[in-house]
Amino acid sequence: MEKSSILIVDDAAINREILADCFEGKYNTLQAENGKQALEILENTEVSAILLDLMMPVMGGIEMLEKLNSSGLVKRVPVLVITTATAADSEELLLEAYRLGAVDIIPKPFIANFLICRVENMIELFRHRRELEDMVAEQVKKLSAMHISMVQALAELIEFRDCESGEHVKRICGITNVLLHSVAELYPEYELHSGEIRKMVISAMLHDIGKISVPDSILGKPGRLTPAEFEIMKRHTVSGWEILEKVSDIIDEDIYAYCRDICRHHHERWDGKGYPDGLAGDEITIWSQVVSIADVYDALTSRRVYKSAFSHEKAVQMIKGGECGCFNPKILAAFEHSINEIRTITGN
């Protein structure tokens, strides 16, 4: 088995050699005479521990610790300070080293066997911590996959009520993904980041889950809905919001928040004339605004029991002309910016 490496950082060659002799046969030892040289070594080499002097030319130990702290390396590799700075007037310096992530202060001169034990104990401790972190990360990954599966399962419930909704849900997710990335590119003020966009897209699957509460006679009606029937249909936004309230424990907390917001508000309008809450402008979250236009475009370009499919050109004309809602001008710009990608997703 290949030996692990220890990096020794000290401006005095004799000190480096003494430390290297302590670990001869157990570890490969790398040497640097200042912090700058040590950081260059760390760019291309993995080490199990760093033995660091504080008082060095070019770049001292504190400055190196600041950089290791900023990069996060001190959380993965133990840094042990080996120094003569133990006098009372050096207390502040040593405390700063601890604050920046050093795990131990070993005064010179040191007893070799004690030094070896302390270094090896820290290496073992950090190894166990990394293993635990990897285990937790794997469990979080599995849990996240389970949450997504639960969202997909809930979305598929709609398919039992509406044979068109399965493909509709897939297209909505695809369009939402493209539009959100377009908004992120064009309007950085919305602070849309890829990790959050992914959660929003997953959440879009459940935008119409409230339709499971709509009677078949209304959901599958081939003609225009009466005003009374439309009022019942409009209730699917609140019904979806209420249904999700009952499954909060089985969906990721962030995804759950996006799901409920999208369910309730994907039929709101920029001019405040939507439903159920009559929100206007940016009172409507950007993700619900995006799902709204995605939903309208797909509804227009898809065949439904109550209508034939419109062409892509006609659908775009209707959306821009305000025939099917009122949308944020920025969302409309993002829609036009990404229209070719949207057409690829929908086959229009």
- Please give the distance of CA 59 from its chain centroid, rounded to a whole number: 35
The question of whether 211 is a catalytic residue gets the answer: yes
Q: How many residues does the chain have?
A: 348
| Token representation of residue 325 | 């809602």
The residue annotated as part of the active site, out of 3, 36, 142, 211, is 211
Q: What angle do CA 278, 284, 290 make, to 5 degrees?
A: 120
Q: How many CB atoms lie within 10 A of CB 232?
A: 17
Please report, for residues 122, 250, 267, the alpha-carbon distance to residue 117 in angstroms, rounded to integers and kept in the order given: 9, 46, 66
Contact 9, 61 (CB under 8 A): yes
Buried b (16+ CB within 10 A) or exposed e, 183-204: bbeebeebebeeeebebbbbbb
Burial class (CB in 10 A: 0-12, 13-18, 19+), 91: exposed
Active site positions, annotated: 211
